[in-house]
């Protein structure tokens, strides 16, 4: 589904990603872990098409197409979805209107007719039930006055509504209480099937108890320095990152 | 020297036309109005059109007034406009009374005032003077209206306008829509509306001023509106300005508020080549509330100048002001928010905010708060911002599959929301939202 080859990227002239290779197939869940500032959100944002980040080398192929040539909205229509680490507030535009606009844009792209108001309402009901979202939140302006946890839940609600092929969850667990973590993880599991894929960016094993990864990658200073199965996350939880950090000298010489 | 002779010419032009104008007023030139006209004429000789070295007009060049001879004497044509023609100009889908003026003249055939005369009198000013002379004597032209030559010009050449008198203890919930259709049949007219609103004790109502210009017509609207709010009264004034893009629009609005009165003033500007609004309120009592909401949209080479003035004269009142501007192309906005808290006005709360978004690199805003506080126990805050549409937010929206242009519209909607949301007539709110996108030629985003 997704192939990343030798990806280098800079932000404001500073190199953040220094040669990432990653292969993701339909049906898989990949966890990306790594210390603060290692480049996890950068990678997520580049996949979604954030123009603040400049790709200087390498390629990203998504479903056989060159992702780097597409605008953010084209990527979304092709099936990329990023759950933001820091979701944005949009006053004066209701969650419902926002999602209806997004869904119908996507349907237009796929040559499908717009959803009728009734179909849309039913879809909202179905998906919000999975996440135990208040109807009140759906009528309110996008993320405005939402608590930290509600914002994260709203990201996953959007994920369920838009039903993409590749979901990238950037620290969706941060800000969620223990019950909410279960509910939101369950939402992701309801979404996940053998035709789509999930990238989970997280700092904590806790989330991975619910969303079980097939692969765990450690991103450090812009490189994937270790990959393994789900047991790697357990090891990291226990031992931190020090034991796998390569010698500084070695890294610099690369 | 050339400049000077030009000025002289222009003033001569307005003086020269006065006789003709009076003749044309026929029986409609009431003694009361004549007095105002004469006083204004005397003042006219003393003043000049304001220059940009005048601090009050620093950012607004009114050379249009020196360079154009606007005709104050329109021929009394019979309009061919029908109710059907103006159907789409009227703000509809809610219950309203309608009073219409074409080129400043009362158009009975396009008015529909089924008002309850036990509570409210709605007439054109010229008829109102005949029937309610004592009210006109008590209230009319009591405000200062010789601040500048434009106000004085209105004093000389005012033709007609709406007169609204809400009696004591009257709630009149059906809004009155005052429709000004400008720039029809004749070019280069001077249109000088003069409005008088008196809201009696413990009464409330709402009024929608709908200034609309015949597209492409060139003319000059020079208006004065006086509002008197007696004790415990409350009024919502909506001014929606869609003059033609080749026209000039200047209004002085002055409210005098008594104890415990509430004014909500909405100033929504879409049209006009050059617009200048002076929105003034004198809080002449205690426990008064004054709310100013403003939204101005500029495109092409439009120039929009809003000068607001809240005068806190007595203790324990509050004023709150929110003005937002969206400027595209080479449009230019001016905001000047003056607040005076006089020495006696202890425990005043005064808030002011002006926010602007520039949609193009060539748009420009000059924003200036002007606070003069002479009391010591007051709360007063103000703030002004200028920015572009938030790129982070735009990316967020686009990342959900929404194309760039629509994402921008969503952000414009978001920006205008806190002013639009204050509009209490729901159907009007939706029509204003629609206008925002129509005027900016952008894809609409509904609620
Ligand atoms: N817009 C930006 N401008 C300047 N520097 C940036 C920008 N975005 C990211 N960076 C820098 O790039 C580096 C990687 O940031 P990134 O957000 O990708 O880290 P992260 O792995 O997601 O960290 P965290 O775990 O704290 O979320 C950091 O040093 C950060 O300061
Ligand atoms: Mg991050």
A41 contacts on B by Cβ (under 8 Å): none
CA distance B254 to B225: 6
Task: Output the residue whose Cα is nearest ligand 1's atom 2.
Answer: A11
- Cβ distance B418 to A76 less than 8 Å, yes or no, reads no
Q: Which ligand is nearest to the CA of A84?
A: 2
SS3 B380: strand
ipTM greater than cut 0.85: yes
Residue ranges of chain B whose CB lies within 8 Å of a chain A CB? 390-393, 395-404, 406-407, 410-411, 413-418, 420-421, 445-447
* Among chain B residues, CA nearest to A155: B400
Tell me the β-bridge partners of B364. B332
CA distance B197 to B237: 10
* Among chain B residues, CA nearest to A44: B399
Task: Output the residue whose Cα is nearest ligand 1's atom 29.
Answer: A37
Among A73, A90, A141, the residue with its CB nearest the CB of B398 is: A73
A82 contacts on B by Cβ (under 8 Å): 399
Q: Which residue, B233, B253, B284, sits at the end of a domain?
A: B284
- The whole-number pLDDT of residue B197 equals 98
Q: Tens digits of per-residue pLDDT, A175-211? A: 899 999 999 999 999 999 999 999 999 999 889 999 9
pLDDT in tens, chain B (447 residues): 344 555 558 889 999 999 889 888 766 778 899 999 999 999 999 999 999 999 999 999 999 999 999 999 877 656 778 889 899 999 999 999 999 999 999 999 999 987 667 899 999 999 999 999 999 999 999 988 888 999 999 999 999 999 999 999 999 989 999 999 999 988 899 999 999 999 999 999 999 999 999 998 999 999 999 999 999 999 999 999 999 999 999 999 999 999 999 999 999 999 999 999 999 999 999 999 999 999 999 999 999 999 999 999 999 999 999 999 999 999 999 999 999 999 999 999 999 999 999 999 999 999 999 999 999 999 999 999 999 999 999 999 999 999 999 999 999 999 999 999 999 999 999 999 999 999 998 888 875
- The whole-number pLDDT of residue B8 equals 58
Among A50, A90, A99, the residue with its CB nearest the CB of B395 is: A50
CA distance B45 to B49: 11
Tell me if B325 is assigned to some domain: no
Minimum distance, in Å, between the CA of residue B427 and any CA atom of chain A: 16
* Among chain A residues, CA nearest to B406: A101
SS3 B408: helix
Q: Give the gyration radius of chain B's Cα atoms.
A: 21
**Protein residues within 5 Å, CB atom, of ion ligand 2:** A 40-41, 85
Per 3-state DSSP, chain B is made up of helix, strand and coil in percentages (nearest 5) of: 25, 40, 35
Minimum distance, in Å, between the CA of residue B429 and any CA atom of chain A: 12
A87 contacts on B by Cβ (under 8 Å): 396
Tell me if B127 is assigned to some domain: yes
User: How many domains in chain B?
Assistant: 2
Taking alpha carbons only, the member of B206, B209, B201 closest to residue B279 is B209
Among B399, B418, B420, the residue with its CB nearest the CB of A48 is: B399
- The whole-number pLDDT of residue A253 equals 42
Taking the model in full, what pTM does it have?
0.89
Tell me if B397 is assigned to some domain: yes
Tell me if B385 is assigned to some domain: no
Domain range enclosing B399: 390-447
Tell me if B292 is assigned to some domain: no
- The whole-number pLDDT of residue B5 equals 55
Q: Which ligand is nearest to the CA of A42?
A: 1
B411 contacts on A by Cβ (under 8 Å): 90
Q: Where are the alpha helices (DSSP H) in B47-181?
A: 63-67, 83-86, 125-131, 133-139, 149-157
- Cβ distance A97 to B447 less than 8 Å, yes or no, reads yes
Q: Which ligand is nearest to the CA of A221?
A: 1
- Cβ distance A109 to B401 less than 8 Å, yes or no, reads yes
Q: Is A89 left (phi over 0), alpha (psi -120 to 50) or beta?
A: beta
Q: Which helix (H) or strand (E) element contains residue B349? A: strand B348-358
β-bridge pairing B171-182 and B97-102: parallel
Q: Which atom of ligand 1 is nearest to the CA of A38?
A: 21
- Cβ distance B417 to A49 less than 8 Å, yes or no, reads no
Give chain A's end-to-end CA distance (angstroms, integer): 29
* Among chain B residues, CA nearest to A89: B393
- Cβ distance B398 to A77 less than 8 Å, yes or no, reads no
Minimum distance, in Å, between the CA of residue A125 and any CA atom of chain B: 19
Percent over 90 (pLDDT), chain A: 83
Task: Output the residue whose Cα is nearest ligand 1's atom 17.
Answer: A41
Concatenating the DSSP letter of every residue in B316-333 gives S-EEEEEEEEEE-TT-EE
For chain A, how long is the longest CA-to-CA vector?
62
Q: Which residue, B250, B284, B318, sits at the end of a domain?
A: B284
Please tell me whether residues B269 and B394 are part of one structural domain.
no
Tell me if B2 is assigned to some domain: no
* Among chain B residues, CA nearest to A108: B401
Q: Which atom of ligand 1 is nearest to the CA of A52?
A: 1
Q: Tens digits of per-residue pLDDT, A87-118? A: 999 988 889 999 999 999 999 999 999 999 99
Task: Output the residue whose Cα is nearest ligand 1's atom 22.
Answer: A41
* Among chain B residues, CA nearest to A76: B401
Among A75, A76, A90, the residue with its CB nearest the CB of B414 is: A90
Mutation site for B-interface testing, chosen from A12, A44, A72 by largest number of B Cβ within 10 Å = A72
Q: Are A22 and A2 in contact (CB under 8 A)?
A: yes
Tell me if B119 is assigned to some domain: yes
Q: Which atom of ligand 1 is nearest to the CA of A42?
A: 18
CA distance B408 to B398: 9
Q: Which ligand is nearest to the CA of A43?
A: 1
- Cβ distance A49 to B398 less than 8 Å, yes or no, reads yes
Please tell me whether residues B94 and B218 are part of one structural domain.
yes
Tell me if B79 is assigned to some domain: yes
Please tell me whether residues B95 and B238 are part of one structural domain.
yes
Q: Tens digits of per-residue pLDDT, A171-182? A: 999 989 999 999
Ligand 1 centre distance from Cα of residue A42 (Å): 6
- The whole-number pLDDT of residue B443 equals 86
Q: Which residue, B261, B284, B307, sits at the end of a domain?
A: B284
Q: Which atom of ligand 1 is nearest to the CA of A222?
A: 14
- Cβ distance A102 to B392 less than 8 Å, yes or no, reads no
A71 contacts on B by Cβ (under 8 Å): 398, 403-404
Size of interface A-B (CB pairs under 8 A): 93
Please tell me whether residues B44 and B160 are part of one structural domain.
yes
Q: Is B268 left (phi over 0), alpha (psi -120 to 50) or beta?
A: beta
- Cβ distance B401 to A73 less than 8 Å, yes or no, reads yes
Q: Are B433 and A109 in contact (CB under 8 A)?
A: no
Please tell me whether residues B396 and B278 are part of one structural domain.
no
Structure tokens belonging to residue A144 = 């405005």
Taking chain A (254 residues) in consecutive chunks of 10 residues, what is each chunk's mean pLDDT? 97 95 97 94 97 95 96 96 95 90 93 94 94 88 92 96 97 92 95 97 92 95 93 88 70 45
* Alpha-carbon torsion (B24, B27, B32, B35), positive or negative: positive
CA distance A232 to B63: 76
Q: Are A196 and A166 in contact (CB under 8 A)?
A: yes
User: Exposed, middle or buried by CB within 10 Å (0-12, 13-18, 19+), for A113?
Assistant: exposed
Q: Using alpha carbons only, give the angle B103, B270, B256 rounded to the nearest 5 degrees.
A: 75
Mutation site for B-interface testing, chosen from A75, A93, A98 by largest number of B Cβ within 10 Å = A93
- The whole-number pLDDT of residue A126 equals 94
Give the other-Cβ count within 10 Å of A173's Cβ.
21
């Amino acid at each position: 589904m997704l192939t990343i080859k030798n990806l280098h990227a800079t932000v404001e002239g500073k190199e953040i990603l220094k040669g990432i290779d990653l292969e993701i197939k339909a049906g898989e869940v990949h966890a990306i872990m790594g210390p603060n500032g290692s480049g996890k959100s950068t990678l997520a944002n580049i996949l979604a098409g954030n123009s603040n980040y400049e790709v200087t080398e390498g390629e990203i192929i998504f479903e056989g197409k060159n992702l780097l040539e597409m605008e953010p909205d084209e990527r979304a229509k092709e099936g990329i979805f990023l759950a933001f680490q820091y979701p944005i507030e949009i006053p004066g535009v209701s969650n419902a209107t926002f999602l209806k606009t997004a869904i119908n844009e996507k349907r237009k792209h796929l040559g499908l007719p717009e959803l009728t108001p009734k179909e849309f309402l039913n879809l909202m009901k179905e998906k919000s039930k999975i996440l135990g979202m208040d109807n009140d939140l759906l009528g309110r302006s996008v993320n405005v006055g939402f608590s930290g946890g509600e914002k994260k839940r709203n990201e996953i609600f959007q994920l369920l509504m838009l039903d993409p092929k590749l979901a990238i969850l950037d620290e969706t667990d941060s800000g969620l209480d223990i019950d909410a973590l279960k509910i939101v993880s369950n939402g992701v599991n309801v979404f996940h099937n053998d035709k789509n894929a999930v990238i989970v960016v997280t700092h904590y094993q806790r989330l991975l108890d619910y969303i079980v990864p097939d692969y765990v990658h450690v991103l450090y200073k812009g490189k994937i320095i270790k990959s393994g199965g789900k047991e790697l996350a357990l090891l990291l939880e226990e031992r931190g990152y020090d034991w796998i950090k390569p010698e500084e000298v070695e890294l610099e010489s690369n | 020297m050339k400049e000077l002779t030009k000025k002289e010419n222009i003033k001569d032009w307005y003086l020269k036309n006065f006789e003709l104008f009076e003749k044309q007023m026929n029986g409609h030139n009431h003694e009361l109005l004549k007095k105002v006209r004469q006083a204004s004429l005397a003042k006219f000789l003393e003043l000049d059109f304001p220059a940009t070295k005048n601090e009050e007009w620093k950012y607004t060049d009114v050379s249009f007034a020196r360079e154009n001879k606007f005709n104050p004497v329109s021929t009394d044509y019979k309009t061919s406009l029908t109710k059907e023609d103006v159907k789409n100009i009227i703000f509809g889908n809610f219950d309203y009374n309608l009073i219409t003026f074409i080129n400043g003249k009362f158009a009975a055939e396009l008015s529909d005032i089924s008002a309850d005369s036990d509570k409210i009198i709605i007439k054109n000013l010229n008829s109102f003077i005949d029937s309610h002379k004592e009210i006109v004597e008590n209230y009319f032209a009591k405000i200062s209206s010789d601040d500048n030559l434009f106000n004085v010009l209105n004093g000389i050449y005012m033709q007609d306008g709406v007169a609204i008198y809400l009696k004591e203890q009257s709630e009149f919930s059906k809004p009155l829509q005052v429709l000004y259709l400008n720039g029809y049949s004749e070019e280069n007219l001077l249109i000088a509306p003069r409005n008088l609103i008196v809201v009696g004790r413990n009464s409330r109502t709402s009024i929608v001023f709908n200034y609309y210009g015949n597209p492409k017509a060139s003319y000059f609207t020079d208006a004065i509106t006086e509002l008197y709010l007696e004790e415990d009264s409350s009024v919502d004034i909506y001014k929606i300005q869609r003059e033609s893009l080749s026209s000039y629009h200047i209004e002085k609005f002055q409210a005098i508020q008594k104890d415990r009165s509430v004014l909500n003033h909405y100033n929504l500007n879409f049209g006009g080549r050059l617009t200048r609004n002076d929105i003034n309120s004198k809080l002449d009592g205690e426990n008064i509330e004054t709310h100013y909401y403003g939204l101005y949209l500029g495109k092409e080479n439009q120039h929009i100048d809003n000068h607001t003035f809240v005068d806190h004269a007595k203790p324990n009142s509050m004023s709150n002001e929110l003005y937002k501007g969206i400027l595209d192309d080479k449009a230019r906005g001016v905001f000047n928010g003056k607040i005076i808290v006089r020495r006696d006005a202890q425990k005043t709360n005064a808030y002011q905010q002006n926010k602007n978004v520039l949609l193009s690199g060539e748009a420009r805003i000059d924003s200036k708060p002007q606070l003069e506080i002479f009391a010591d126990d007051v709360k007063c805050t103000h703030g002004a911002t200028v920015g572009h549409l938030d790129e982070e937010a735009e990316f967020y929206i686009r990342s959900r599959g929404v194309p760039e242009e629509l994402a921008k519209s969503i952000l414009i909607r978001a920006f205008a929301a806190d002013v639009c949301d204050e509009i209490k007539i729901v159907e009007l709110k939706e029509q204003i939202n629609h206008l925002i996108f129509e005027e900016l030629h952008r894809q609409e985003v509904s609620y």
